[in-house]
Amino acid sequence: MAPEKEKEEIMEVKITGKSRVKPNKKLGRSECQLVTFDLPYIAFYYNQKLIVYKGNEYEDRVEKLKDGLGVVLEDFYQLAGKLAKDEDWVFRVEYDDDMEGVEVVEARAEWISVEDVAVEEGTSVLKELIPYSGILNSEGPPQTFAVSAANQAKRRTSNGIGLQPCHPRWDLHMALHEFMGPDLQWAAFNLSPTFHGPHQRIDKIKSELNSNMPPGSSKPFSTFQSLAVHIWRHVTQARQLKPEDYTVFTVFADCRKRVDPPMPESYFGNLIQAIFTVTAAGLLSMNPPEFGASMIQKAIETHDAKVIEERNKQFESAPKIFQFKDAGVNCVAVGSSPRFPVYEVDFGWGKPEAVRSGINNRFDGMVYLYQGKSGGRSIDVEISLEAGAMERLEKDKEFVLE
């Protein structure tokens, strides 16, 4: 057997190069004020998403990525900036042409293949592959990590990107408060594989749910609501909660069209709010699925401009910075959306082999929904749970619809 030191060297991710990318043209100095919608997430860990491709011509691909990134940063200049605050502790992202730009890291991991990462059991290696693990947005290096927008390396044009980001903040509340860095901890759970949901399985869940709609329901359950209650119920069962234990379902809603006045789809920023649905585990499990689906549907539909305004006022009167573990006890929290075509991110060398979340985005009860790799209406579901609950969920044939 190889000595332990040799094993560590074999499995080490070796940095082969570091460089900086700046916008391809001079932009001068710009500031982007952080507003009430942005501030609760300032203590989140850096967002980590890994998109895996196959192929050769590595050096050429790196240069194309850098070239495309330079185009993107002309419009998304904040990604090449840094977090700053004034004497009143008002936070902003600032950029000027003298800054170094976005760090691009090139590395080799000869002990792992694309297949290792693409398979469902390959998530344990991600911590070694993705930088900035355990780093908070508020304490990270001055330059943030950024990923080039889809197809910029493939379809670079003199006009830059197709949809121009909307940067002005208008009247979206400015929260002024002193930010006190929380004492954060995290634990590495036995994290899940990605469950693949062909559209036939998802259609079956949705069809069965809508065939038993509660009396007085005004509209059918959506695909999201149907899949959400399916996950919530089976995760709750896998956790073996007591009937009186509370369980929470959380979804992060896009508020661009919910605020008054509405914001454009191209608004750049965290214009989202968490929507919570709470019930007893026994009620969720003993009632039919439409019980939980109705609660989720109502919570989403009633989260209007008035509710959003009240939530903002509450935050401004007593600011709370969400922590990495704030999904909460017995919580199922859904992030991302299958509406985002992650498997269409083509830089000129084909579609990805896999899309994965890094360790920063994984904690007990966190769920990510992605467009399915098989295309169409299929959905990939990435779930993180404690080891015992995950083992029971994987054996639940009704959950995976075998």
Which uninterrupted H or E stretch holds 231? Answer: helix 223-238
Say what the pLDDT of residue 299 is: 95
Residues of the chain above pLDDT 90, percent: 30
- Summarised one tens digit per residue, pLDDT across range 226-276 is 999 999 999 999 999 999 999 999 999 999 999 998 998 888 888 899 999
The gap from C-alpha 376 to its chain's centroid, in whole angstroms, comes to: 21
Q: What's the average model confidence in pLDDT over 118-123?
A: 60
Token pair listed for 308: 């959003």
Residue 218 pLDDT class (50, 70, 90 cuts): confident
Residue 125 pLDDT class (50, 70, 90 cuts): low
Stretch among 84-93, 159-168, 231-240 having the lowest mean pLDDT: 159-168
pLDDT at 150 over 80: no
Q: What's the average model confidence in pLDDT over 86-111?
A: 86
Q: What's the average model confidence in pLDDT over 133-140?
A: 73
CA neighbor of 211 nearest in space, from 267, 104, 288, 271: 288
Q: Is residue 131 part of a domain?
A: no
- Range picked from 88-97, 223-232, 332-341 for highest mean pLDDT: 223-232
What residues form DSSP beta bridges with 283? none
Say what the pLDDT of residue 232 is: 97
What secondary structure letter does DSSP report for 105? E
Say what the pLDDT of residue 180 is: 29
- State how many domains the chain has: 1
Domain residues for the domain of 240 are: 194-400
Instruction: Please give the single-letter amino acid code of residue 393.
Output: L
- Range picked from 1-15, 122-136, 174-188, 388-402 for highest mean pLDDT: 388-402
Q: Give the largest Cα separation in the chain, rounded.
A: 68
Q: Is residue 138 part of a domain?
A: no
Residue 43 pLDDT class (50, 70, 90 cuts): confident
**Residue 79 · residue 101 · CB < 8 Å:** no
Say what the pLDDT of residue 186 is: 25
pLDDT at 6 over 80: no
Q: Is residue 106 part of a domain?
A: no
Q: Give me the chain's average pLDDT, please.
A: 79
Say what the pLDDT of residue 148 is: 65
Q: Is residue 120 part of a domain?
A: no
3-state SS, 155-185, equals CCCCCCCCCCCECCCCCCCCCCCCCCCCCCC
pLDDT at 29 over 50: yes
Q: Is residue 187 part of a domain?
A: no
Say what the pLDDT of residue 324 is: 58
Q: Is residue 3 part of a domain?
A: no
Say what the pLDDT of residue 142 is: 43
Say what the pLDDT of residue 192 is: 38
pLDDT at 132 over 80: no
- Range picked from 49-53, 246-250, 311-315 for highest mean pLDDT: 246-250
Q: Is residue 262 part of a domain?
A: yes
Q: Is residue 4 part of a domain?
A: no
pLDDT at 9 over 60: no
Task: Report how far apart, in Å, the C-alpha atoms of 307 and of each of 251, 253, 275, 276 are.
Answer: 15, 12, 10, 12
CATH number reported for the structural domain that contains residue 303 in this entry:
3.30.559.10
Q: What's the average model confidence in pLDDT over 59-66?
A: 88
